[in-house]
Structure 1
Amino acid sequence: MASARRVELTEFGGVEVMRLVTAELPAPAAGEVQLRQTAIGFNYIDVYQRAGKYPLPSPTGLGHEAAGVVEAVGEGVEGLREGDRVVYMNAGIGAYADRRNVAADKVVKLPEGIDEVAAAAVFFKAMTAQYLVKKTHRVQPGDIVVVHAAAGGVGQILSSWAKALGATVIGTAGSPAKCETALAAGCDVAVDYAQADWVRQVIDATGGRKARVVYDSVGQHTFMGSLDCTAPFGLVALYGAASGPVAAFEPELLNKKGCLFLTRPSVFPHNADTQTFRANAADVFQAIEQGAIRATIGARYPLEQVAEAHRAAEARATTGAIVLLP
């Protein structure tokens, strides 16, 4: 029987609640594979879950995504074998580990040209961008697209992918330094949404033309401005609420703003079955190979330094993705 080191929480709070424990790992059950994980992706939701803002059962692990190598295959698993390099993003909480058993239908094989660290750094974020640019609104050449929080993990990928698809991309971010990051990610223009006139600046950047789609992960701070940036019959895709939830409003407002469409999508329903998940993953891998998505890694921490990784994230001390290395 193999052993596994994993982060475990029995309470919620500061970084000190995370404990690295070692326990026996049973052989994979039917339909499962056992992974030796080589890179673990960090997402800010991990901080919220550690702190107890998003309730989890106790005890619990942490982490949603990782990449690694298949070490054992359970009964009935087809299409995967020992030695395959794989990545996952939705196999249940507990990715902060060096070994793990996961459902085989939740992993996807990595192409030869994509290494495991890069995959772990971007997979969850890129799968979010994938449904936004291909399903929520299929970005077309000539579209004007607004991306809020364009310097963030998803925002950078969303901006570069939309640009590669032929859109004019107006990014917003919360400081001049973050605007520089957004420009480096592929935005044609970056606007500081901390400024009172950011809506006017966004519209002026395109000579007065409004956006076909606004991708808003900020929520409360930007939402009403998002409606004002959207062209008649355009779409606002509200896929997050970093500044807090949007206050209730009368649907008639969408009519007054130009017969707008509003949606609140999320990544997991867009990848609810194995066939769709793997097709979407193939789309992501192709975008990486073509350069539409770049894995920008800001920091790497050994699994033993998981507390330091969380501190750095909360202090906004890194630019780019954080990766944990078992």
Structure 2
Amino acid sequence: MRAIQVREQGGPEVLELVELADPSPGAGEVVVEVAAAGVNFVDIYRRSGQYKVETPFVSGAEGAGTVSAVGAGVTSVAVGDRVAWAEGSSGSYTSHAVVSASKVVPLPSSVSFELGAAVLLQGITAHYLATSTYPIAPGDWAVVHAGAGGVGLLLTQIVKLRGGHVLATVSTPEKADLARGAGADEVASYSDFVDRARSLTSGAGVPVVYDGVGTTTFDHSLQALRRRGYLVLYGASSGAVREVNPMELQNAGSVFLTRPTMGHYLATREELVSRTTDLFTWIAEGKLSVRIGGQYPLADAAKAQTDLASRATTGKLLLIP
């Protein structure tokens, strides 16, 4: 099989296209012929060394395809089934991935492989952010950073589905148009979103800021919150944030700071299925639109990650094995 392997952590140049032995599933596992693999910031964190991972490893966490083999004890999935996953694999930048059967979800025929690979990780993230980490209530204003990015576009739509209002931050007029197209009520630049957040809430500040950018937005995100508001720091595309003195949270209005991760919001199989069922249902009903910003051949994995890290892309990037 073909795969993108990382022999040692480093820059994009460490992503190497190699030929590996065709995999066989172990007990409780399936082999999936990969039709599309998602490209995500977590892949960059693992490749670069920001997240320590034992090497060598096959890059990628998310994908969609057709089950080609099942291991002992697997009864929930059969050969020929269409499936998608966002975790639990041996790596998704490959032609054939080994995935824990407990981590794959059925992919309805109404959802293409490309959409399945594009929506799962970012869609689950947006789902738990808006429904569990800080559950949006009707009328709530939310600041959604990187509003034209993959998570931002999905998160905006889910906030709107729950009756909330969105102030999206963007860096260009083109991205502003994309954010508005996803339902954002207002857009702002990264330099003026605090003033806009205060203005839209009669000076009080917003109940929640969803921040996947990190170091360049963090301090201003605190300033945009109302008393007892929530700063939901779910990513760090601009770099890890500085150390935080807890007194800063008091001084900002007894606000809450949380750093959620997907594994803690998929604690059970039932939770995984519930969240993905919502996503696939919304897609089928036309309530959730998934923007695919680019598709790359497997050999161009380094370019895909470089493009994603530049923050010049919009929507979701895919590798097509």
Please say whether Structure 1 and Structure 2 have the same fold, judged by a TM-score greater than 0.5: yes
Q: For 2:310 and 2:234, how far apart are their aligned partners in 1? A: 23
Aligned to 1:255: 250
Residue 94 (structure 2) pairs with residue 97 (structure 1):
yes
Structure 2 residue corresponding to 1:238, chosen from 225, 229, 233? 233
Highest RCO, 1 vs 2 (Cα 8 Å, sep ≥ 6): 2
| 1:135 and 2:146 matched | no
Question: Which residue matches 1:228?
Answer: 223
Partner of 1:12: 9
Partner of 1:52: 49
Q: Which residue of 1 aligns with 2:261?
A: 266
Q: Which structure 1 residue ranges, 5 or more long, are not aligned?
A: none
User: Aligned with 1:170: secondary structure?
Assistant: strand
Alpha-carbon distance, 1:26 to partner: 4.0
Q: Residues 161 and 17 (structure 1 numbering): CA distance in 2 closer, same or farther, change over 3 Å? A: same
Change in Cα spacing, 1:206 to 1:183, as seen in structure 2 (3 Å) is farther
One-letter code of the match for 2:17? L
Q: What's the counterpart of residue 25 of structure 2?
A: 28
Q: Which moved more, 1:89-98 or 1:120-129?
A: 89-98
The 3 A distance-change label for structure 1 pair 264 and 252 is: same
* DSSP-derived class of the 2:58 partner: coil
Question: Match of 2:61?
Answer: 64
With 132-141 and 205-214 compared, the bigger mean Cα shift is at 205-214
Q: CA deviation at 1:272?
A: 2.8
Verify the 8 A CA contact 2:35 2:65 in the aligned structure 1: yes
Aligned to 2:165: 168
What's the secondary structure of 2:27's corresponding residue? coil
Normalising to structure 1: TM-score of the pair? 0.91
- Give 1:233 shift: 2.5
1:26-72 superposed Cα distances (whole Å, 9 cap, x missing partner): 43221111111111111123233333333322211100100001112
Q: Matched residue pairs, number? A: 321
Aligned-residue offset at 1:124: 0.4
Structure 1 residues 57 and 174, CA gap change in structure 2 (3 angstroms) = same
- Per-residue CA deviation, residues 112-133 of structure 1 (Å, 9 max, x unaligned), is 2111111101210011111111
Matched, 1:304 2:299: yes
Higher mean Cα deviation, 304-313 or 83-92? 304-313
**1:251 partner letter:** P
Q: Distance in 2 between matches of 1:246 and 1:303?
A: 32
What RMSD, in angstroms, separates the aligned Cα atoms of the two structures? 2.0
- Mapped to 2, the partners of 1:99 and 1:26 lie a distance apart of 7
Any conservation in 1 of the 2:4–2:93 contact (CA below 8 Å)?
yes
Aligned partner of 1:221: which letter?
A: T
Superposed, 1:179-194 pairs within 5 Å as 179-193=176-190
**For residues 49 and 100 of structure 2, what CA distance do their matches in structure 1 show?**
26
Q: Secondary structure at the match of 2:2?
A: strand
Say if 1:179 and 1:192, in contact at 8 Å, map to a contact too. Answer: no
TM-score (norm. length: structure 2): 0.92
Which amino acid in structure 2 is aligned with residue 46 of structure 1?
Answer: D
Query: Does the 8 A contact of 2:90 with 2:97 survive in 1?
Result: no
Aligned residue in 2 for 1:277 = 272
Q: Deviation per CA, 1:85-111, whole angstroms, max 9, x where unpaired?
A: 000011145111111222100111112
Residue 75 in structure 1 maps to residue 69 in structure 2: no
The answer on 1:325 being equivalent to 2:320 is yes
Q: One-letter code of the match for 1:131?
A: Y
